[in-house]
């Protein structure tokens, strides 16, 4: 006489949740394509850009008057959501140690298009990538809005676009560069504080100015070893290592 198979006890609440989470994790694995092979600085291979060029930007703080024309022109050109900006000019109040009156410092901020960008290797779907000409971009068709790149950027230069729910940031207006035009922020700067150009060309305006002011050139957070390609002239020491955030007026360096 055959006996019916023994009943399998139903899993308790803990086992049910464990099985459910296991199924969910398996269903949400994001495949990485073969093109993710190791490239420069252990990153995915750089994608094509403008051949032979390496773009960088020089910002002369001695000429910036904080008019925000760069912020406005960038918004008109690239149309980020209201209240979100790819570039802006922050105002900082600095109290000199000598007891002199406080001074206001205008500091333009944007993506630094680093040569070793920490935002690239953390992207699980390779939506953030660097072109051969150094410009770091986001493929909005691939971006899943996880925000890993936003957290990885040490310069607070990225944000999740409220409209697209994908990562957004300054692109050096690569569409304008490819058409032989200047980025909107450079073209609209009334004081001529921003200069963009090819760092591989020793005769370009940016290369000549970097050579001329070599002793005064600084970058933000050099200790992060990202090799940023946005350079500053006239950047106070208080801003080099301690700059954070994207909002209005604040004290610099804890003073």
pLDDT digit string (tens) for 148-159? 999 999 999 999
Our CA dihedral for 44, 48, 51, 54, rounded to 10 degrees, sits at -50
55-237 CATH fold: Alpha-Beta Plaits (3.30.70)
C-alpha 219/C-alpha 44 separation (Å) is: 25
Percent of the chain clearing pLDDT 70 (strictly above)? 76
Summarize pLDDT for 111-164 with one digit per residue, the tens.
999 999 999 999 999 999 999 999 999 999 999 999 999 999 999 999 999 999
pTM to 2 decimal places: 0.78
Q: How far is CA 179 from the centre of its chain?
A: 23
Cα–Cα distance for residue pair 45/70, rounded to 1 Å: 32
93 has a pLDDT exceeding 90: no
How do residues 219-243 score in pLDDT, each as one tens digit?
999 999 999 999 999 998 888 887 6
């Amino acid at each position: 006489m055959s006996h019916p198979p023994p009943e399998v006890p139903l899993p308790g609440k803990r086992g049910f949740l464990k099985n459910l989470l296991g199924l969910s994790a398996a269903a949400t694995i994001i495949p990485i394509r073969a093109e993710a092979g190791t490239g420069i600085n252990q990153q995915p291979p750089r994608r094509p850009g403008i051949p032979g060029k390496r773009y960088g930007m020089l910002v002369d703080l001695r000429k910036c008057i904080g008019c925000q024309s760069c912020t406005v022109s960038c918004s008109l050109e690239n149309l980020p959501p209201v209240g979100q900006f790819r570039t802006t000019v922050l105002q900082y109040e600095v109290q000199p140690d000598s007891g002199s009156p406080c001074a206001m410092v205008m500091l333009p901020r944007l993506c630094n298009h680093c040569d070793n960008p920490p935002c690239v290797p953390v992207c699980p779907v390779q939506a953030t990538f660097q072109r051969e000409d150094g410009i770091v971009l986001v493929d909005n068709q691939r971006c899943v809005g996880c925000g890993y790149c936003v957290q990885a950027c040490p310069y607070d230069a990225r944000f999740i676009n409220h409209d697209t729910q994908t990562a957004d940031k300054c692109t050096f207006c690569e569409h304008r560069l490819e058409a032989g035009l200047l980025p909107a922020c450079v073209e609209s700067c009334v004081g001529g504080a921003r200069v963009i150009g090819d760092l591989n060309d020793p005769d370009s305006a940016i290369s000549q100015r970097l050579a001329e002011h070599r002793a005064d050139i600084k970058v933000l957070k050099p200790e992060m070893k990202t090799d940023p390609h946005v350079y500053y002239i006239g950047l106070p020491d208080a801003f080099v290592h301690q700059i954070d955030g994207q909002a209005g007026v604040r004290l610099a360096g804890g003073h």
